[in-house]
Amino acid sequence: MLRTIRSQSMRMASASSRRMLSSAASTSMLRQTLKAPSMTAQVTRPTVMTFKPVLLSRGYADVVEVPPMAESLTEGTLTAFEKDIGDFVEADEEIATIETDKIDVAVNAPFAGTITEFLVKPDDTVTVGQPLLKIERGEGSSSGGSKPPKEKKEEKTEEKEEPAPKEESAPAPKKEEAPKKEESAPAPKKEEKKPAPKEEKKTDATEGLGGFRKEERVKMNRMRLRIAERLKESQNTAASLTTFNEVDMSSLMEMRKLYKDEMLKKTGTKLGFMGAFSKAAALAMRDVPAVNAAIEGPNGGDTIVYRDYVDISVAVATPKGLVTPVVRNVDQLDVMGIEKAIHDLGVKARDNKITLEDMAGGTFTISNGGVFGSLFGTPIINMPQTAVLGLHGVKDRAVVVDGQVVSRPMMYLALTYDHRVLDGREAVVFLRTIKELIEDPRKMLLM
């Protein structure tokens, strides 16, 4: 009896245990099914994250900003981009030009890479630190950015052309026409970019009694606008007055004729007139220091600053306007040293390589309009300077020398000065001293 009871109880226990195992298995399966959506979500999330490394593997485009230009310059006008989108540029290669009030600033690539995007357009006003364009870092040749895709296309066409001979020779020329169309497609795109900068010009054409006539309106560049502003500032601020004299150039021209070849061979610089006039002006300032002074202070100025050095601004004409690079310490240089400095600055100005440091300062200005054939004129003061000396053309004229009428090469001199600083007597004495030193250059050795 007891045995039967024990066997029955064991059977019941085994059955219950089996039920528990089956229920546990079912619950585990249920949990797995419930967890399945979350697992799929976990699987799809890494696929989204892997998209970023793919972009990084292709390269990251860095933003190139407008570089610092100078302490006094904070903005300019983007003249043009020297490269196109997709072009490869080397490190320190010029990629854009910004026109400022005084000079043109070149923007160079900070690293090698491929241009991916322009963030501004030509003729837009840009400020220091403003994003200019994007460059994708990378190494390669200047043509590497555009040639690879074309090579791939050529390879594909070659692969397609292989089965052609098996069938017929007729479709072969049709497939050869496709690359010709692709090669001719980029040509008009390059031509469309060239006329873009000419949008500033506006022409009005009219036809009347005088025939076909037209008017063209061109926006003034920043340098021309700045020159106009400074000239009006000079006229509105300074009490300008001009005094004149004439100088006999016989002695200076004779000295130049005797020594120009020797000086050119020895120094590599031509002997001209500017060196002698600059030296004569620096020596004349010893007797009239007010010519080298300037007014400073509020409300038009209440303080006169006298200087013990002479930095002469030399007016140089460039295609974009008049610039005035400065020859430093003229009072300490000889005539040939001044000529060399003027020549070097003139070359830099005409090659558009002049810097702000070359034009900063200046205590006196000399403008030589005689190189263009000017006979007579009144120069305008370069503020905040006090005076400007104008040189003009050399013409043979009849003059009286020792009671006789003779022909001599003569030049008119004009000195425009600020009457607030310089009195008439001082201005006349200064100009007369220059005249005497030029008519007898040997006096320069005695002063």
Q: Residue 7: what pLDDT?
A: 54
Reported confidence tier of residue 15, pLDDT bands at 50, 70, 90: low
Task: Return the CATH fold of 223-446.
Answer: Chloramphenicol Acetyltransferase (3.30.559)
Domain boundaries, the chain: 31-145, 223-446
Task: Determine which of 145-154, 215-224, 254-263, 303-312 has the lowest per-residue pLDDT on average.
Answer: 145-154
145, pLDDT greater than 50: no
- 98, 124 in Cβ contact below 8 A? no
Q: Does 305 have pLDDT greater than 90?
A: yes
pLDDT band at 16 (very low <50, low <70, confident <90, very high): low
According to the model, what pLDDT value does residue 6 have?
53
Q: What is the pLDDT of residue 259?
A: 94
Work out the average pLDDT over 241-256: 96
Is residue 159's pLDDT more than 50? Answer: no
Active site includes 419? yes
* Distance, CA of 93 to CA of 82 (rounded, Å): 10
Segment 235-249 mean pLDDT: 95
CATH number for the 31-145 domain, one of 3.40.50.720, 1.10.150.50, 2.40.50.100, 3.30.300.30? 2.40.50.100
Sign for the CA dihedral angle at 323, 327, 328, 330 comes to: negative
pLDDT digits (tens, 9 = 90+) for 253-270: 999 999 999 999 999 999
Name the catalytic one among 261, 287, 419, 440.
Answer: 419
pLDDT at 290 over 80: yes
Residues 294/302, Cβ–Cβ less than 8 Å: no
Bond prior to 384 in cis (omega within 30° of 0) = yes
The more confidently predicted of residues 50 and 3 is 3
CA-based torsion, 135, 140, 146, 148: positive or negative: negative
Tell me the C-alpha distance between 102 and 225, whole Å: 10
Could you say which DSSP state residue 68 is in? P
| pLDDT recorded at residue 60 | 62
Mean pLDDT of the chain: 78
In sequence order, the β-bridge partners of residue 206 are 213
